[in-house]
A = this chain, B = another copy of it.
Amino acid sequence: MSLPDTPAVLVDIDVARRNIRAFQAYADRHGIRVRPHIKTHKLPQMAELQLEAGAIGITCQKVTEAEAMVDGSPRIKDVLITYNILGEEKLARLARLNERVRLSVVADNTAVIDGLAARFAREGKPLTVLVECNTGADRCGVATPAEAAHLAERIAEAPGLRFGGLMTYPPADGAARVQSFMSEAKELIEAAGLEVPTITSGGTPSMMQAADVPVATEYRPGTYIYNDRSLVERGVATWDDCALTVLATVVSVPAENRAIIDAGSKVLTSDLLGLTGYGHVLGRDDIRIDQLSEEHGRLVSNGPIGLAVGDQVRIVPNHACVVTNMVDVVHIVDGDEPKEEWAVVARGHIL
């Protein structure tokens, strides 16, 4: 097999396997269950590698994403959707999925709980619902342990629902806050006579400190399987740990210090994650990708850029997960050797 036409997303399967093993080994040592978030790869094959390594199930963000993953692998039997699910169409999809796998979702408000209950009261099998808690990321999640306990009781009392525990997506370095919030919430919920089967946290940047939150039983890393420039810049991965790269071709060298490649925001995306520039050209620390339009990327250097039209470069994107979502296929490679094309079956599933 030859290298694919560009731009193309390459995934080094050995690097991905090594990344999976590294966190699983850490989690095993500390008795933490691993439930990887599939948003990073959106590939049933990668989920199977994670399950084989010891993951207990997967995390998805949307119902249709979960459907695509379950359709894609009979080995995916346990799915947590970390999202407030609302609306008749999504609830109907959720009910069908609940018949196929061990399924759980989250909720951070009574409107969502009541919607789930109204639907699942009619179903044969109850749906497991965890309470989402805000431990500092200020996205979704109840603000206090008392609110978490209140929602836990509401779930436990609702027909068709089963209380499954507590979930959070913390900020990086949020371990102390997660530990105190979850401990307090757990105590309140247990005092009300309920068990808290699962306490789940996540995020790749802090995953190697997951054991600093002993109250948590489960961890949901996502980006760790591929890594990306944002994680290298945070110091939690090296370029050698980056499994996903974008292969691009130089299509123009219009000035001595400037080259234009055939990968723009339609592949690399505009995600900055607090960084400057849109990715790292492997082996070329002197180059900045300072501008993207949809189909062009601009590479600039302080001196002569030393690239010719037709040259190829490999780029570690700022954010691997969003790049996966831009392409219909990824090219599995072993170093520089192309092996297979995998269809990104859970790409673009926004519902």
A residues near B (Cβ < 8 Å) are 5-7, 39, 61-62, 83-84, 86-87, 89-90, 108-109, 111-112, 134, 138-143, 249, 251-255, 258, 260, 262-263, 265-267, 269-272, 291, 293-296, 298, 308-310, 321-322, 325-328, 348, 350-351
Contact = CB atoms under 8 A, between A and B. Distances in A.
A260 B169 CA distance: 14
Nearest to A87: B5
Given A5-B351, A295-B350, A251 B322 contact: no
A295 B62 contact: yes
A298 B325 CA distance: 21
B254 A265 contact: no
Q: In this complex, which of A254, A293, A296, A328 has the most chain B Cβ atoms within 10 angstroms of its Cβ?
A: A254
Contacts of A140: 251-252, 254, 260, 296
Given A258-B138, A269-B269, A322-B294, A86 B309 contact: yes
Nearest to A93: B5
A139 B293 contact: yes
Contacts of A112: 251-252, 309
Given A7-B350, A328-B348, A249 B86 contact: yes
B309 A87 contact: no
Given A5-B89, A272-B270, A351-B5, A322 B265 contact: yes
B348 A254 contact: no
